């Protein structure tokens, strides 16, 4: 279906005189809607062809949703789907002003929005049937329909996620210095998520080219809008952020078009975001699977059906002489036939196979073909090596930028970005509000749209605020979209204990991320590794969790080449050769393992020390080769043992090298308590070189 908005981008109704909307407002208030006056405009002078295009889009959406419901009840559409019947005017009106290069980000009820942006209905239907020819290869399903080629960056199953991804897409458009803009569509339930406030604030302070469009259908699943939203209005919140906000009649397709068209024009002109609340109503239940006990009065549903957006549009067009009965019947027949062809296409599409899954999870690592350079004699600290890696990549690739709290003039809490702001400016070192969800959303959304962000997490414990964007978005977007997009984002920052920051600022959380397919987890232990691995991470096409231990910031300088270089991701490093026992150690534990090896050498115990460097994927081949030589293994990390990475490494060694082991694999980690503040206790709960040496002795003399 051809994008209907290509000819509409220049039209603006800014400044159009207002007319009374009291009749519509009264009807909405009477039916449990938002108790405030609607903003209305004189209807734009759309000609008959333009109105027919809007009507046709609504009819396609209605036919698609109606047929999807039938297919769900017949068992062909599985899982669930969320129908937008009754809300077609929002999708059609909002999609009409958009260019192909403009973006949309939407939510779980997103079929109509994707259709209005030009998505292929046959491939959409195949996706709902879970077929190989689906728009996402049958891997995303109803809630995750997207088409990166059309800048549809996703329907999304996580409430409110469209706003986080949307500010990232808008940031990418602004960084490209284009006139592209876009719309983040969310429901009234999403307006009460924290990401709403973080995204609106960031968009306002940076004047991002985005329209926040709240599709207020009166219910968040079964909870009424009036019972869940203080103040009775979403759009009124715009005033708190200094941006325009208005509530419109979401069942009037021309009113939606007029409001979004004006807001998009503002965005293209560099005037920043607009918040629009479109009052509408879904005719059906929350989802096709819901089968919930009644939570809406039948009379209420019928009153809203009487304000059906398609019927209202048809009546208006006939009154204007822009549509005849025969023309309307022909449009209905045409759109019904289009959807039947889509169903037939979907039915005939093959099922995806297991072989399609793994390639969709992660983009392949790029082989540089370059051998790791010799360290040389020039020395840098760990912190300086990280800074040099970022500076060299920012010089090499204009798409690379840093985003995070306090990364500007002061250079971050630990000074890792110090000096970069003065060198590259505020557009490349983006100093943010304290907004972890917003930072993560902007990073992931901009990465999907072609940028290469480095998101600094000020203290890694704060990653808990970012988990949705990292685990549900960055790690899964490529997969849910059928393996087509890349998500080249690096999340980096300090973790671990040792400097008396207590329980909420000292955790080692790498196991969380190593558990998630789609993420790459990197943990360098030396300045040399830090530079080469960070450059490789920035250049990689996958989301990377780059873990920097705070104690390593305080370490001594070591040789680091001046020229840029990459250390291949997924490749471990043997830091010391040995014959009696293998010690696999991560981050700050690497140096302690080397110290333990020196102690044990005096006892004629030869220790081989291996640094995994990348924690997902693990270089198990390296570990297995070593264990087959030494026949013993100790795995040591600062994180707690329970559920930690040591257990995974030990399990795989048992699976692949059990016959070569002369003793069980020993695991060493922190005491199973949150990090204490007292310095003596903190040192006591973290493994040291003596504890590592004792573990080695146990496996050697058992």
Active site residues: 436, 505
CB 649 within 8 A of CB 621: no
Q: What DSSP assignment string belongs to 561-626? A: -SS---PPTT--EEEE--SSEEEEE-THHHHHHHHHHHHHHTTT--EEEEE-SEEES--HHHHHHH
Cα–Cα distance, 347 to 36 (Å, whole number): 47
Q: How deeply is 500 buried, as exposed, middle or buried, from its count of CB atoms within 10 A (0-12, 13-18, 19+)?
A: middle
Instruction: Give the three-class secondary structure for 181.
Output: coil
Cα–Cα distance, 74 to 606 (Å, whole number): 67
Instruction: Give the three-class secondary structure for 238.
Output: helix
Q: Is it true that the peptide bond before 301 is cis, omega within 30 degrees of 0?
A: no
Run of H or E including 491: strand 490-495
Residue with tokens 């009807």: 27
Question: What is the CA 169 to chain-centroid distance, rounded?
Answer: 11
- Helical residues (DSSP H) of 191-324, grouped into ranges: 194-206, 225-228, 253-268, 298-305, 309-320
Instruction: Give the three-class secondary structure for 4.
Output: coil
**Closest alpha carbon to 640 in 503, 521, 492, 546:** 503
Residues belonging to the chain: 702
- Helical residues (DSSP H) of 355-450, grouped into ranges: 357-361, 382-396, 420-424, 436-448
Residue with tokens 């020229």: 563
Strand partners, 257: none
Structure tokens at 118: 């030009």
**Cα torsion angle, 298, 300, 303, 304, sign:** negative
Cα–Cα distance, 494 to 354 (Å, whole number): 38
């Amino acid at each position: 279906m051809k994008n209907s908005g290509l000819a509409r981008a220049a039209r603006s109704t800014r400044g159009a005189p207002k007319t009374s909307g009291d009749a519509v407002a009264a009807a909405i208030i009477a039916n449990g809607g938002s108790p405030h006056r609607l903003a209305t405009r004189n209807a734009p002078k759309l000609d008959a062809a333009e109105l027919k295009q809007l009507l046709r889009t609504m009819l396609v959406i209605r036919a698609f949703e109606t047929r999807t419901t039938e297919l769900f009840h017949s068992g062909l559409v599985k899982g669930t789907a969320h129908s937008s019947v009754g809300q077609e005017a929002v999708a059609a009106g909002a999609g009409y002003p958009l260019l192909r290069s403009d973006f949309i980000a939407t939510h779980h009820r997103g079929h109509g929005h994707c259709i209005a942006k030009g998505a292929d209905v046959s491939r959409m239907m195949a996706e709902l049937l879970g077929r190989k020819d689906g728009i996402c290869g049958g891997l995303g399903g109803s809630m995750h329909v997207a088409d990166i080629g059309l800048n549809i960056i996703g329907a999304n199953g996580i409430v409110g996620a469209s706003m986080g991804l949307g500010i990232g897409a808008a940031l990418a458009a602004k960084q490209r210095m284009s006139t592209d803009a876009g719309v983040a569509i969310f429901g009234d339930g999403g307006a009460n998520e924290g990401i709403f406030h973080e995204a609106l604030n960031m968009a306002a302070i940076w004047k991002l080219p985005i329209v926040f469009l709240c599709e207020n259908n009166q219910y968040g699943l079964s909870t009424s809008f009036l019972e869940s939203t203080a103040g009775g209005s979403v759009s009124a919140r715009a005033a708190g952020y200094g941006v325009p906000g208005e509530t419109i009649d979401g069942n009037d397709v021309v009113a939606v078009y007029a409001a979004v068209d004006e807001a998009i024009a503002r965005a293209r002109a560099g005037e920043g975001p607009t918040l629009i609340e479109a009052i509408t109503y879904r005719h059906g239940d929350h989802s096709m699977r819901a089968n919930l006990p009644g939570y809406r009065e039948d009379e209420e549903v019928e009153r809203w059906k009487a304000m059906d957006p398609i019927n209202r549009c048809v009546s208006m067009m006939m009154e204007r002489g822009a549509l005849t009965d025969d023309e309307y019947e022909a449009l209905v027949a045409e759109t019904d036939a289009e959807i039947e062809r889509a169903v037939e296409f979907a039915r005939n599409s093959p099922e995806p196979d297991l072989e399609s899954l793994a390639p969709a999870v992660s983009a392949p690592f790029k082989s540089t073909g370059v051998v790791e350079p010799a360290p040389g004699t020039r020395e840098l600290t760990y912190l300086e090596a990280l800074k040099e890696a970022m500076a060299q990549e920012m010089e090499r690739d204009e798409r690379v930028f840093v985003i995070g709290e306090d990364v500007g003039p002061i250079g971050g809490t630990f000074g890792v970005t110090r000096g970069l702001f003065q060198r590259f400016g505020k557009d490349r070192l983006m100093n943010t509000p304290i907004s972890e969800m917003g930072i993560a959303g902007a990073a992931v959304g901009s990465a999907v749209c072609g940028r290469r962000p480095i998101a600094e997490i000020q203290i890694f414990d704060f990653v808990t605020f970012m988990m949705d964007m990292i685990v549900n978005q960055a790690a899964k977007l490529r997969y849910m979209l059928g393996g087509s997009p890349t998500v080249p984002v690096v999340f980096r920052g300090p973790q671990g204990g040792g400097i008396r920051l207590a329980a909420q600022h000292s955790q080692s959380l790498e196991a969380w991320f190593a558990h998630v397919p789609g993420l790459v987890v990197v943990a360098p232990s030396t300045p040399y590794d830090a530079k080469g691995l960070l450059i490789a991470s920035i250049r990689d096409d996958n989301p990377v969790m780059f873990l920097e231990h705070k104690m390593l910031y305080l370490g001594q300088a070591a040789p680091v080449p001046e020229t840029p270089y990459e250390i291949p991701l997924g490749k471990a490093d043997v830091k010391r050769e040995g014959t009696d026992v293998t010690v696999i150690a991560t981050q700050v534990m690497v140096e302690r393992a080397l110290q333990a090896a020196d102690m044990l050498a005096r006892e004629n115990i030869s220790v081989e020390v291996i640094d995994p460097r990348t924690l997902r994927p693990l270089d198990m081949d390296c570990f297995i080769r070593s264990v087959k030589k030494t026949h013993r293994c100790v795995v040591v990390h600062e994180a707690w043992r329970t559920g930690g990475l040591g257990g995974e490494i030990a399990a795989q060694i048992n699976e692949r090298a059990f016959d070569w082991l002369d003793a069980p694999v020993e695991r060493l980690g922190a005491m199973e308590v949150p990090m204490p503040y007292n310095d003596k206790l903190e040192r006591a709960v973290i493994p040291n070189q003596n504890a590592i040496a004792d573990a080695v002795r146990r496996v050697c003399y058992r």
